[in-house]
Amino acid sequence: MNKDMKRLCIFTAVLLAVALAGVSLWHLLTPGTPTPSDLYHRYEHQAGVRVGYIEDYRFDDSTFVDVVTVEALDSAGWHWMEQEFALHEHANPEAPAAGSGPESVTLWQCDDGQNIAFCSWADSALCLVQPRSEREFEHIIIYHLQKIRQ
Amino acid sequence: MKHTSTIALAALACLLTTACGPLKYSAQSTTDPKNPNSGVSIQLPGTAGDGAQHTFVSQHPEGNIKYVVDGQQYIGEVTTEEDIATLYLKILGFAKLGHNVSVTARDDNPKGTKTDTHTFTSESEVEVASWAARMVRKGYSVTIEYDKSKHTYTCTAYKKK
């Protein structure tokens, strides 16, 4: 009986080790969605921009999400942002004069499928967030709506 | 005819680029960070106030001419053959002034890529947020503007077809 138990334990341990190794390998080989922290470290030393990272930023009483902000400090920084975030792709081509005032915000889903970019053209700034649910996403949008309304 | 004139002008620009010697001026090139729709403004030092500031609208990457002035890439918006000719003449002007210029790409769709656009207007932040979130998840870029006089949000969602 003890021998059987020992075998079962060894078998279970080997099974767990193989599963763990498989998961680790999968994580290593599959490029995952960059977290806000990853994005911050990617851009923190970029010249011409100010990059910020706020952990658990409070959008409202029930929405706390990590945020990365990228703000152009000069025209070179803005040019880099235009290239890095393909800003021209997201500026409304149908309304050249619109969407650039202080009472506007543009948002889109980044290529990674998870991060959402909010661009304030008037402030030359981007805010990158990764909402965990649609409810959170909508609350973050409402936060931005209240900002442009002020 | 369209392609011939484009190719001829591009060839001329490239020829001038090659012929350009060392830089005689250092161009200060800026895109107004406060207004991304303002295009690219290039101010030549020593010429301020004499009308030598050149501004190219550069909002749309599609249907445009990409060019490089002193290592900085710009996109000139063109919708007609006259636009193309005018833009190339300006680029050639830079070359004549000693700037290192080159034309790097010419999109064959001068009228630009068509976009799929939807609009939505509401006073309700909840409705706007719900609509915007749904459109963003569908791959649209959404611009939301607030009209202070009407107290309404106008949303425009667009993506390239």
Cβ neighbours of A124 in B, within 8 Å: 33-34
B32 and A75 within 8 Å at the Cβ level: the answer is: yes
Cβ neighbours of A77 in B, within 8 Å: 33
B145 touches chain A (CB under 8 A): yes
B120 touches chain A (CB under 8 A): no
User: What pLDDT score was predicted for residue A53?
Assistant: 94
Instruction: For A126, list phi and psi in degrees, rounded to 5.
Output: -120, 150
User: What pLDDT score was predicted for residue B39?
Assistant: 38
What is the distance in angstroms between the Cα of B92 and the nearest Cα belonging to chain A? 23
Strand partners, A117: A108, A128
* Cα gap B110→A7, rounded to integer Å: 73
User: What pLDDT score was predicted for residue A28?
Assistant: 65
> Which one of A106, A124, A134 has the shortest CB-CB distance to B141?
A106
* Cα gap A129→B109, rounded to integer Å: 35
Report residue B8 as tokens. 């001829």
Mutation target among B55, B123, B146, B156 for the A interface, most CBs of A within 10 A = B146
* Cα gap B126→B142, rounded to integer Å: 15
Helix residue ranges per DSSP H, chain A: 2-29, 36-43, 75-84, 87-90, 134-149
> Which one of B31, B35, B125 has the shortest CB-CB distance to A142?
B125
pLDDT under 50: residue ranges of chain A: 96-98
Domain boundaries in chain A? 1-30, 36-149
How do residues A103-117 score in pLDDT, each as one tens digit? 889 999 998 888 999
* Cα gap B59→B75, rounded to integer Å: 8
**What is the residue-averaged pLDDT of chain A?**
86
CB B43 within 8 A of CB B56: no
CB A39 within 8 A of CB A68: yes
- Angle, to 10 degrees, between the axis of helix B125-137 and the axis of helix A134-149? 120
What is the distance in angstroms between the Cα of B37 and the nearest Cα belonging to chain A? 6
* Cα gap B13→B83, rounded to integer Å: 15
User: What pLDDT score was predicted for residue A97?
Assistant: 46
- In tens digits, what is the pLDDT along chain B, a chain of 161 residues? 445 555 554 454 444 444 433 333 333 334 444 443 333 333 333 333 333 333 333 333 445 667 777 777 777 766 666 666 677 777 777 777 777 777 655 554 444 556 788 889 999 999 999 999 999 999 999 999 998 888 999 999 988 76
Q: Using CA coordinates, name the residue in chain B closest to A146.
A: B125
* Cα gap B119→B53, rounded to integer Å: 37
B32 touches chain A (CB under 8 A): yes
Residues of A with CB under 8 A from a CB of B: 72, 74-75, 77-79, 82, 87-101, 103-109, 116, 121-122, 124, 134, 137-139, 141-142, 144-146, 148-149
Cβ neighbours of A129 in B, within 8 Å: none
Residues contacting residue B6 through CB under 8 Å, at least 6 positions apart: B84, B106
Q: What is the ipTM of this complex?
A: 0.77
